[in-house]
Structure 1
Amino acid sequence: MNTIIVYCSMTGNTEQMAELIAAELTRLGDCVEVKDGIDAYADELIAYDRILIGSYTWGDGELPDEMLGFYEELQDTDLTGKIGAVFGAGDSSYDYFARAVDVLEETLKNRGCEIITNGLKVDKEFEEQVTTKCRTFCENITNAQVKVKTA
């Protein structure tokens, strides 16, 4: 499977998640490209089978500035026939925990992308917990992919 992971990170948590997910999917046989959201263009997504987007949540539930240009381009990108999922780090002390995951997931759906697993939200967790959650996220993705192919 040809997969792109587009992410933005401020403290390094979402970047760590992107790297863990990329490593696990590569181990499972995927061809994976990882791009920082500030250097990515939404029309690039069309060249990939699977789209994964990662973002932290800024302030009271907003997308971070580093993701805004990509997000705006995404509004005009047809992703019909693509599959995808979203992940990100958040802080549960805010009213809208990791809301960027929900916003990006909804946007992918609205652009025609089939969401194949629930978004992964991580909150100030120990590194081994993040690693385990990212592996489970990858298992969910690959299991859902099999279901999509056989449907």
Structure 2
Amino acid sequence: MRVVILFGSEMGTAEKVAEAIAEEMTGYEVSVSDMSEFDVTELDPRLFHIIVCSTYGEGDLPTGAEPLFEALDAHRPDLTGLRFAVFGLGDSVYDNTFNRGGEIAAAKLTALGGTQLGEHARHDASGETKPTAMARDWVHTLPLDSALAGA
């Protein structure tokens, strides 16, 4: 069973979260990739994708996620059958834009036919819980066995 973890980061926190999630996924074949280096043609509906995405600026995707989502906008691939989960990173100090990066990512994948599974995690940098600790707990709530059935 294969799982692809893609991270989009500005300061490196999303990468650390992606690595923490991968460490929890014993029994699965897991790859971790920077969205800035991931080719949109590699989005494979036979695999489960976990998107770890921070929020930057005025509620935008981080610089590290822009190449992938610009390619999705340009090529508009049919992602029917693609199953994914999202772990978003944000700061509730920014009330109107809290966790928008993860929400933008989920909306773009869904608009192209993807299906989001599990709870959309929204880490709050203003809270006391470390993002890696939250991610380690969250990954165990994902419906991975059903998502990967037949993969």
Q: What's the TM-score, normalizing by structure 2? A: 0.84
Partners of 2:146 and 2:31 lie apart in 1 by: 23
Higher mean C-alpha displacement, 30-39 vs 41-50: 41-50
Partners of 2:106 and 2:145 lie apart in 1 by: 20
Post-superposition Cα deviations, 1:87-133, rounded to whole Å, max 9, x if no partner, equal 1321111121111111111111112221111221212255x643442
Instruction: Determine the structure 1 residue equivalent to 2:107.
Output: 106
Go from structure 1 to structure 2 and tell me whether the alpha carbon gap of 1:122 and 1:133 turns closer, same or farther (over 3 Å shift).
Answer: same
Q: How does 1:57-136 map to 2 (within 5 A)?
A: 57-75=55-73, 76-94=76-94, 95-124=96-125, 125-126=127-128, 129-136=130-137
Q: Secondary structure at the match of 2:136?
A: helix
Partners of 2:72 and 2:140 lie apart in 1 by: 26
Instruction: Determine the structure 1 residue equivalent to 2:48.
Output: 50
Instruction: Determine the structure 2 residue equivalent to 1:36.
Output: 34
Instruction: Determine the structure 1 residue equivalent to 2:19.
Output: 19
Partners of 1:60 and 1:78 lie apart in 2 by: 29
Greater RCO, 1 or 2 (C-alpha within 8 Å, sep 6+): 2
Contact kept, 8 Å, 2:45 with 2:83, in 1: the verdict is no
Runs of 5+ in structure 2 lacking a partner?
A: none
Equivalent residue letter for 2:69: Y
What is the percent sequence identity of the aligned residues? 30
Alpha-carbon deviation of 1:2?
0.8
Partners of 1:4 and 1:107 lie apart in 2 by: 17
Partners of 2:124 and 2:67 lie apart in 1 by: 25
Partners of 2:46 and 2:19 lie apart in 1 by: 18
Contact kept, 8 Å, 1:4 with 1:48, in 2: the verdict is no
Q: What's the TM-score, normalizing by structure 1? A: 0.84
Instruction: Determine the structure 1 residue equivalent to 2:6.
Output: 6
Contact kept, 8 Å, 2:92 with 2:98, in 1: the verdict is yes
Equivalent residue letter for 2:33: K
Go from structure 1 to structure 2 and tell me whether the alpha carbon gap of 1:15 and 1:48 turns closer, same or farther (over 3 Å shift).
Answer: farther
Alpha-carbon deviation of 1:59?
1.1
Q: How large is the Cα RMSD of the aligned pairs?
A: 2.1
Alpha-carbon deviation of 1:48?
4.8
Go from structure 1 to structure 2 and tell me whether the alpha carbon gap of 1:146 and 1:35 turns closer, same or farther (over 3 Å shift).
Answer: closer
